[in-house]
């Protein structure tokens, strides 16, 4: 059964970190630009502050994108809120992003353990259960999040599950194992495999689809590569270069903006 998060025409266009090629990553400016272009799906990262606020921030430390230094989770939100990404943009709260556009879906990458326990409260307060997909490079973080959530939400496959998809050779001798894997993924609310381009071969896409999984490929910023993965049957593309991806999809007759958006 398709998750409500994925109830949108294919292929899905994801604004990676809001569309980091056009505005500072994970900033209000980036997300707002993506919304104006008509994007229905935004990708972001979630980290906790020392006093329990969940913010949209990728790195463990502040050094790369702000003029501060050290771990972000060592600072209270009052300090984090005063910082600026690329010198100009405040760091958003995940809760504020979810509340700003009630019709937009968010792909949320859980980047640290403290943030896991904060996510259920954010989803309760915003009612965004059907508008999020939870992902992580850590299977442990995904399992912990699944256990804490009050109700099912769309989950992306863990690295172990992705390895299982890659090992699925598709022979008749393996069908019992394939059925077991498909059943496990369905019970765990795993509805998509989000993978780098090097993993998203034609064979991988076929195997994932056989298991009932959508395939979302990241982070694809080159026009020719966007076209290649769409031709391979990818169900979604994550990109920093959101203007180019939109142009590609418009040219293919596959651009599906959010309903009611006044696109640029």
Residues 6+ apart with CB under 8 A from 193: 156, 157, 161, 162, 165, 204, 208, 213, 214, 215, 216
Contact 196, 221 (CB under 8 A): no
Q: Is 58 a catalytic residue?
A: yes
Nearest CA-CA partner of 230 in 241, 215, 240, 244 = 215
Tell me which of 8, 16, 33, 216 is the catalytic residue.
16
With 0-12 / 13-18 / 19 or more C-beta atoms within 10 angstroms meaning exposed / middle / buried, residue 54 is buried
Tell me which of 22, 58, 209, 256 is the catalytic residue.
58
Q: Is 256 a catalytic residue?
A: no
For 85, which DSSP code? B
Q: Mapping DSSP to helix (H, G, I), strand (E, B) and coil, where does residue 136 land?
A: coil
Q: Which residues are catalytic?
A: 16, 58
């Amino acid at each position: 059964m398709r998750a409500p998060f994925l109830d949108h025409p294919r292929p899905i266009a994801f604004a990676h970190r809001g569309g980091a090629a056009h505005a500072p990553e994970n900033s209000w400016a980036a997300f707002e630009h993506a919304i104006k272009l008509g994007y229905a799906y935004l990708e972001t990262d979630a980290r906790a502050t020392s006093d329990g606020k969940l913010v949209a921030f990728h790195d463990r430390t502040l050094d790369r994108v702000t003029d501060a230094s050290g771990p972000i989770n060592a600072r209270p939100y009052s300090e984090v809120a005063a910082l600026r990404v690329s010198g100009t943009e405040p760091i958003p709260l995940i809760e504020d992003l979810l509340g700003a556009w009630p019709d937009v879906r968010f792909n949320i990458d859980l980047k640290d353990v403290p943030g896991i326990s904060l996510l259920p409260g954010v989803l309760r307060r915003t009612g965004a259960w059907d508008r999020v997909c939870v992902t992580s490079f850590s299977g442990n973080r995904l399992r912990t999040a699944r256990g804490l959530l009050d109700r099912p939400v769309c989950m992306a496959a863990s690295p172990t599950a992705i390895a299982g998809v890659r090992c699925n050779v598709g022979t008749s001798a393996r069908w019992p194992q394939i059925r077991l894997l498909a059943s496990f993924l369905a019970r765990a609310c795993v509805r998509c495999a989000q993978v780098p381009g090097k993993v998203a071969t034609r064979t991988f896409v076929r195997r994932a689809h056989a298991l009932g999984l959508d395939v979302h490929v990241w982070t694809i910023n080159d026009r020719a590569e966007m076209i290649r993965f769409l031709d391979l049957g990818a169900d979604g593309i994550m990109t920093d270069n959101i203007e180019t991806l939109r142009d590609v999809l418009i040219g293919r007759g596959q651009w599906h903006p959010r309903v009611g958006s006044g696109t640029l």
